[in-house]
Amino acid sequence: MDVLLIYIDSGGPSRYLRYLEVGLCHQVLADGQLNTTSVLLHPDRRPEEVLAIFQQHPARLVGFFFDEFNAPATFAFASQLHTSFPDTPLCAFGIYPALAPDRIALSKDFDYLVIGEGEIALLELANQTIRGGDVKQIKNLWFRQDKAMSRNPLRPLQDNLDLLPYPNRSLFEQEPQRVPGNDRYLYIAASRGCPQDCIFCYSPVLKKAYEGKGNYYRMRSPQNLAGEILGELRRFPYAGVNFVDEMFPTDKTWLKGLVQKLGSGAKVNFQATVAAERIDAEVLDLLKAAGCERLQFGVETGNEAFRKRLATRNLSNDRLRAVFAAARERGIAVVAKNMIGLPLESEPLIQETLTFNQVLNPDEIVCTAYQPIEGSSLYQYSKDKQYVTPVPQAGPDSTLPDFTSLSLKLPDVSPEIIRNYLYRLHFMNVVEKLKQVPKSQGYMDFLAELPRAKFHMRYAAAVDVGRTKRGDTDFAYICIETGSDCRFAVNLRAQSLLRFSLYMPPASFQRVARRQASVVAEVLLVRNGEEVPLYYRAITQNSKAIAEKWQDCMVAIPEDAGEAEILFRASCGDARDIRAVVFWGMPSLSEQQALMANNEAVAHVKADYEAQLATKDQAISSLESQLRESRERELEAIKERDAKAARVGEMHVRILELEKFIADNKPYLDELEKARADKEAGIAGKLKGLFKKTE
């Protein structure tokens, strides 16, 4: 191959935007007639696999995409590849080279750095390195020369985004499936850059670097954007569209154009991130007309003054309340995105965030602990104050960050306080999501009782709820990560039956299978401190079926009626570093008598079975009758075909006979033809003479 592009997925909040950025570079290279491959690395795909592939199919240039969080993992793999293949040139591109170029330049593994928006620079670099040309004049490029880095200036920003191709989507196809069923979304970007100047973000750094080089925030044309959306929807039946822009465009003229272009194609349901201060009633109406069903808003914090300091936004709480209410009046769901654990934040400020989310009452609450981005203003402040701690890793053999851990040690707020508020905000979100899930049948619906359950969790979101479809039916489930459990107080009725469906998403199953581990999903009945196993399932590399479809389970409760607890648990045994998720679908308790050891229950089950059997027998008889009729029609068709073939054969014989007759009598026929011609010539001569006499 000519170029290999590698992205190590850190699992950060902008991961799908990064997939598109890598995909755009891939497509630009491919359109330049360069044989290009993009590879996605994640916790379930180890670098050793890529090294083995590279050894069989070496590339002439390798590009490593750095996002804002994957630098340690990318440095580690680049060093590994450079050691194994020292003659292969390596290039760094993406967000991080613009945030911390000097840190990458200090690494001896990289020959080139592409700074800023790099698809054109990467194409020029690939062409020159592959053909042995000169790279010294390529803008946006830093290159190693005489053991030092030469630094070329940035080129102007690409103002017309329509000139860029649609991105290659191979990274999306390599991502392990994390949700059940066909809940696959089309991720797409309508713009580049961000109009905001939040001090916790990288955008102000890039904006300053490109000062005087053009507009930092740019939009694709509605026609170009709609063309990609409708084309992708024809290619695959996506559940919806998710715009991953840093800030979705809210220009009214642009939105009117998008409504017009999308209106001519299939119905598009989408979600996007917008700024509340840029929203009014007309914008909401246009968004709704274009197909918007969900909007995400950066609330950040519940304190107005602190929000203005963090995000440099004059966004009041009253304004947020009004926009949320107006969106919900139009049937648009609203998501509040928050951060806690910020520098200069106190516990009363965190409490304001929690209280304000209760007032907003959004359809979903997203709250994360602040993760500092190297190069940003808030990171530098935290570093100067010595708040920054070593980046927690996702596991003992991982170089990827653990986003469930805290990255700052603050003087005024302890880690325990921050974790407590993360739990509280997470369960506020769970309660909101439970309002939207279908109800289970039976006298106890465990999903509905989740807010009153007791939990043991590895981190705040280790127990969650989700929704999907089973066929055409809405379906809800409890997600439990390994090392966590849920304990429900129940008042058992006599002869109760526990029902649930079990599933492990392919991403988790691949992790278990790859490490040859075992995840245990179990249900226990707890009474007077004694645990009685009700259900036990060891999920290993041989349990592939559980990652392909829901496994329906029914368990008879072997206890008399009375108060007890039912415990749902997912565990990993000794391999505690393996983080996998088990989904428990629509768990419930009912009083059905199936599987109970008494004559009435057996008779009921037998009657139900016989009724089902009779129905199936009728269906089989109907199918057999249809099969007989079909075979009879087939025989008739064969007979008719044979008769036609016989007639065709007879006609062919007669044609041959006629051809033989003509061949045998050819001399006579020739004489007849000659006599006819002479006769016609004689008549013509006489007529000609007659006319001459008349003249």
pLDDT digits (tens, 9 = 90+) for 262-292: 876 567 899 999 999 999 999 999 999 999 9
pLDDT at 338 over 70: yes
Record the tokens describing residue 549, joined without a space.
Answer: 């479809």
DSSP string, 197-242: --TTSSHHHHHHHTTTSS-SSEE--HHHHHHHHHHHHHHS--SEEE
Closest CA to 266 of 241, 224, 230: 230
Rounded distance between C-alpha atoms, residue 388 and residue 362, angstroms: 32
Alpha helices in 107-144 (DSSP H): 119-131
| Out of 77-86, 318-327, 412-421, 593-602, least confident range | 593-602
What pLDDT, on a 0 to 100 scale, did the predictor assign at position 606? Answer: 58
What pLDDT, on a 0 to 100 scale, did the predictor assign at position 598? Answer: 45
Position 66, amino acid:
F
Segment 520-550, tens digit of pLDDT: 999 999 988 888 899 999 998 898 898 888 9
| Out of 87-91, 255-259, 484-488, 666-670, least confident range | 666-670
What pLDDT, on a 0 to 100 scale, did the predictor assign at position 51? Answer: 85
Rounded distance between C-alpha atoms, residue 266 and residue 255, angstroms: 17
What pLDDT, on a 0 to 100 scale, did the predictor assign at position 596? Answer: 44
Record the tokens describing residue 544, joined without a space.
Answer: 């592939």
pLDDT greater at residue 555 or residue 399:
555
pLDDT at 646 over 80: no
Using CB atoms within 10 Å of the CB of residue 654, give its burial: 0 to 12 exposed, 13 to 18 middle, 19+ buried: exposed
Mean pLDDT of the residues in the chain: 87
Per-residue confidence band for 414, with pLDDT thresholds at 50, 70 and 90: very high
Query: Cβ contacts of residue 658 below 8 Å, gap of 6+?
Result: none
What pLDDT, on a 0 to 100 scale, did the predictor assign at position 573? Answer: 67
- How many of the other CB atoms lie within 10 Å of CB of 359? 11
What pLDDT, on a 0 to 100 scale, did the predictor assign at position 684? Answer: 66
What pLDDT, on a 0 to 100 scale, did the predictor assign at position 594? Answer: 43
In degrees and rounded to multiples of 5, residue 346 shows phi and psi of: -115, 170
Place of tokens 């075979």: 631
Q: What is the dihedral of CA 206, 211, 212, 213, to 10 degrees?
A: 0
Per-residue confidence band for 40, with pLDDT thresholds at 50, 70 and 90: very high
First to last CA, the chain: 93
pLDDT at 601 over 50: no
Record the tokens describing residue 8, joined without a space.
Answer: 């190590």
pLDDT greater at residue 226 or residue 576:
226
Per-residue confidence band for 22, with pLDDT thresholds at 50, 70 and 90: very high
Per-residue confidence band for 441, with pLDDT thresholds at 50, 70 and 90: confident
pLDDT greater at residue 578 or residue 154:
154
Segment 64-117, tens digit of pLDDT: 999 999 999 999 999 999 999 999 999 999 999 999 999 999 988 999 999 999
Position 343, amino acid:
P
pLDDT at 600 over 60: no
Classify residue 45 as left (phi > 0), alpha (psi -120 to 50) or beta. beta
pLDDT at 597 over 60: no
pLDDT at 246 over 80: yes
Query: Cβ contacts of residue 559 below 8 Å, gap of 6+?
Result: 492, 525, 527, 532
Per-residue confidence band for 595, with pLDDT thresholds at 50, 70 and 90: very low
- How many of the other CB atoms lie within 10 Å of CB of 188? 23
What is the model's pTM? 0.81
Rounded distance between C-alpha atoms, residue 297 and residue 139, angstroms: 36
What pLDDT, on a 0 to 100 scale, did the predictor assign at position 577? Answer: 66
Segment 566-594, tens digit of pLDDT: 999 999 866 556 888 999 999 999 986 54
pLDDT greater at residue 327 or residue 613:
327
Query: Cβ contacts of residue 289 below 8 Å, gap of 6+?
Result: 259
